[in-house]
Each structure stands twice: as C-alpha cells, then as structure tokens.
Chains A and B, each alone.
Chain A
Amino acid sequence: MSLADFFSMGGYGFYVWGAYLVTAVAIVMEVVAVRARLKNARHFADSGQEAQ
C-alpha cells in the first residue's frame, strides 16, 4: 500500500479523514483548555483574587 492509497482511503478519504481530523483537533483543544484553566485557577487561588 502506498502513502497515496493510504490518504485516499479507497475514495472515502473525505469522510474518514474528516472524522479523524475533527476528533484529533477536539481532543487537543480539550487538553489545552483544561491545562489553561488549571493554570489560571492556581494563579488566582494563590493570589486570593477572583478567577477570570
């Protein structure tokens, strides 16, 4: 199987990669958002101020 075959997914590339790409982006976004939220919460809990 060539790399081009792999990406074309037998003509179903749009559907298969559309599913995988959005899933990957969603998971990465969730991890980034939770990290940022935790960092923010730590910062404001530490300084005793209102969290943003």
Chain B
Amino acid sequence: MNTSSINWFRFASPASFFPLARRLVPWFGIPAALLAVGGLYLGLVVAPTDAQQGDAYRIIFLHVPAAWMSMFIYVVMAFWSVITLMFNARLAAMMVQSLAPTGALFTFLALWTGSLWGRPAWGTYWAWDARMTSELILLFLYFGYLALRGAIVDSRRADRASAVLVLVGVINVPIIYFSVRWWNTLHQGASVSLTSAPKMAAVMLSAMLIVALAAWLYSIAISLARVQAIILERERGTGWAEALAGAVR
C-alpha cells in the first residue's frame, strides 16, 4: 500500500486515535524501561568516580534528563495549545491535559534531584538563583494549568482558557534555558552543547543521553496511556466510547 494514501487527519478524531494510542504504548514504554536500566547501570556502575565531585555527581543522570523533560513537555503542551486554539481541536486539548501531570512530575524531580546535588556541590539545598527560581515558576505554571482546568466544568471552555495560560507561560522556558548565560548564577552552565566539545567523559555523557532518551520515550508512553483515560472520561455517553471501553475490557 502506498503510504501517502493514509489519511493522517483521521487520527485527529479521539474515536480513531484511541485504538492507535493503545497500540503505541508498549512500543514506547518497553524501550523506555530497557534504556533506563541500561543507562543507569552505565551511570551508577560503569562510569568512574568524578575527580572533583566524587560520587555525588551521579545525580546528573537523573537531574539533567528530568530538567530537559520538564521544559520539553511544556513546549509540546504549548504546541498542542496552539492547535487547540487555531482549530478548536478536541484531541489536541486532550494531549495538553495528558502531558501536564507528567511535566509537573519531571519539574518536581528536576528540583528535588537538583536540591540533593546542590547540597554536596555548593553547600546549600536551595538558592534563589535565576535557574532554580525560573524552574520553580515552571512547576507553578504546571500547577496553575491543572488548577484552571479543574476549576472550569465545561471541558471545551477549560480547553481554551487553559491553552491561553499555557501559551502565556511558555515565555518562561527560554528564560530557564538561558538563565545560566543571562545571569550570574550559582547553577553551572549547560552540560551539553551542540556547538562545543563535550565537557564530560564519554561514558558519563552516553549514560546521561541514554537516560534522557528513556525519559523521552516514557513521557510519550505515559501520555498516550493517560490520554485514553481522558478520551473515555470526556467522551463518555457517546456510543463509540462505550463500545471501545467494552471492546478493550
């Protein structure tokens, strides 16, 4: 079959996206688990102790992937929010709704692991420096999104109102990313840059990138799983939702 004959817009409908999401979850979830185990083995067992920081640096294998995901998920939410507002697309808004808890979780984990790394590295769990403060604001943006959604009963109105909130908040993402350059922060500069040679040993860098890839695949898997629940919750009462729920039992 010629692939160009597939009508991809068909999947913009929650009814046809639901079975696709269901089939895709293990294709992302299983590689995510395998890569997480492999990457963390590399990071915790194979990678040598750091000359300056001792073993405390091993928090990097969680901290950097979590921090990347916290920002990346927000950007993806902003993308789906644009689609929501432009096309009044139900499924796009459901994807925003599905990504938000995972984004909030990674933001919390970035702050938590960063705090536990900051203590041995800098002597403090927390400082009101630009990087940490803007990451904390990101957590509040996720909470704000979830609270606003929860406060509006009409889900289509909630879609539009919360899409606007997500888009206003997206300005914070470049602020987080460039904060270490724009301000003199306690936080160190970027760990990985496309334009300069890696500052880390190859085994450390590969462990970190493998865990980051695992976090990326996990986020796809968990949001595809959660969006199924959201579809069923929101489309409840339609014949197809009842049929789907019965069929997948």
Interface residues of A (CB under 8 A from B): 6, 9-12, 15-16, 18-20, 22-23, 26-27, 30-31, 34-35, 37-38, 40-46, 48, 51
Bound CA span A14–B74, Å: 31
Min Cβ gap B128→A in Å is 21
Which listed residue, B66, B120, B230, B246, touches A46 by the CB 8 Å rule? Answer: B246
Instruction: Give the distance in Å from the alpha carbon of A19 to the alpha carbon of B1 in the complex.
Output: 49
A-B contact count (CB 8 A): 101
Tell me whether A15 and B218 are in contact in the complex, defined as CB-CB below 8 angstroms, given that A23-B113, A34-B226, A34-B229 are known contacts. Answer: no
Smallest distance from the beta carbon of B213 to chain A beta carbons, Å?
Answer: 15
Chain A contact surface mostly? helix
Contact status B232-A11, CB under 8 Å: no
Segment at the interface with A among B52-60, B143-151, B152-160, B163-171: B52-60
B109: chain A residues at CB < 8 Å are: 22-23, 26
Which residue on chain B has the smallest CB distance to residue A44?
B236
